[in-house]
Amino acid sequence: MQFTEAAVKTTPQPFYVVGPTGSGKSALAILLANKWGGEIVNADAFQLYKGLDICTAKPTAAECAMAPHHLYGVLSPTELCDAAFYAELAKPLIADIAARGAVPIVVGGSGLYIKALTHGLSPLPSDEGLRRKLSHLTSGERVAWLLARDPHASETVNLKNDRYVTRALEICLLTGKKQSELRKAWKDRVPEYSGIQLAWVRDALHERINSRVNAMVAAGLVEEIRRAAELSATAEKAIGVQEIRDHLQGRMTLKDAIAAIQLATRQYAQRQVKWFRREKGFIPVEIEEDVPVSALVAKAEEVRMASVG
């Protein structure tokens, strides 16, 4: 069946391009935006920040000129951010893009930020005062109290992780219900959303990551981090910041810093892969080696067609 814009709903629905770092999401999003009359919305936690363009592999000015890009470099490096704050920025923007008849193309690899858009954040309550009171108990007492109120908690909570136990107990006490049932009800919801997951073979992805880190250093990564003064607790978590700072302070050679960045990025990519495997709404596109981007565009069109009927 030939893809036509006539087949798309009157108000375009967001289309997601997700996957691990270094998988080629940004380049594909630009092609899709041009083909569909779309606008790109960033869903990478660190590309939100100004001044970390190289470190976060932010689209270049030339790439941004190829299609409308939103939420890139919009936060001060000293500003904190989380999934809830991101959703407050992204949701009205996505709605505005769709209202103008353009296709919102959400691209990124920050799983929780994306889930804040596709599923919404968990509505389960929290209370800082209650957590302070619970902190006066021993870890064993917290586990015992949790299991007394929710016998199935051992199936849903890592009882060796005191933070998880405290959070689960907090939910039980605030709602008067079993947190295991509340969590399951939230997770079992099946929201409607459409997108693809770029799923590279591990070795090929690792090779791409290693090459990209080398290119980032050649493009001026060290100087960029040297210029980056105060960073928020969120921004300083960007891979490359601490490694290059260690190099600048003489604790690590540049060669070792590069190797450390490559390793941390590969490990992060594997966590991203695991995350998106669990998100069933994204159709995986298996990639073993560099493929014509036209093939990925065709797959994206197929997925989008299926979502609009």
Sheet holding 15-18, edge to edge: 69-70, 38-42, 103-108, 15-18, 194-200, 282-287
State the Cα angle at 301 between 300 and 304, rounded to 5°.
85
CB 189 within 8 A of CB 200: no
Q: Distance between CA 281 and CA 195 in Å, rounded?
A: 7
Q: Is 26 annotated as a binding residue?
A: yes
| Confidence (pTM) | 0.81
Q: Is 24 annotated as a binding residue?
A: yes
Q: Is 292 annotated as a binding residue?
A: no
Q: Can you list the positions of beta strands (E) in the chain?
A: 15-18, 38-42, 69-70, 103-108, 194-200, 282-287
Coil, strand, or helix at residue 189?
A: coil
Q: Is 25 annotated as a binding residue?
A: yes
CB 57 within 8 A of CB 21: yes
Confidence of residue 186 (pLDDT cuts 50, 70, 90): low
Q: What is the mean pLDDT of the chain?
A: 91
Q: What are the domain boundaries of the chain?
A: 5-120+192-308, 128-187
Q: Is 309 annotated as a binding residue?
A: no
Percent of the chain with pLDDT over 90: 72
Tokens of 18: 């997700």
| Crossing angle (nearest 10°) for helices 254-278 and 111-118 | 30
Q: Could you report the per-residue pLDDT of 267-299, keeping only the tens digit for each?
A: 999 999 999 998 888 999 989 877 777 789 999
Say whether pLDDT at 27 is over 90. yes
| Crossing angle (nearest 10°) for helices 162-175 and 139-149 | 40
- What lies within 8 Å, CB to CB, of 245 at 6+ separation is 225
Q: Distance between CA 238 and CA 257 in Å, rounded?
A: 14
The hierarchical CATH code for the domain 128-187 is 1.10.20
- Cα torsion angle, 229, 230, 231, 237, sign: positive
CATH superfamily of 5-120+192-308: P-loop containing nucleotide triphosphate hydrolases (3.40.50.300)
pLDDT of amino acid 293: 79
CB 196 within 8 A of CB 282: yes
The candidate with the shortest Cα–Cα distance to 269, out of 197, 195, 187, is 197
CB 86 within 8 A of CB 48: yes
Q: Is 38 annotated as a binding residue?
A: no
pLDDT of amino acid 82: 93
Say whether pLDDT at 236 is over 80. yes
pLDDT of amino acid 187: 65
Say whether pLDDT at 57 is over 90. yes
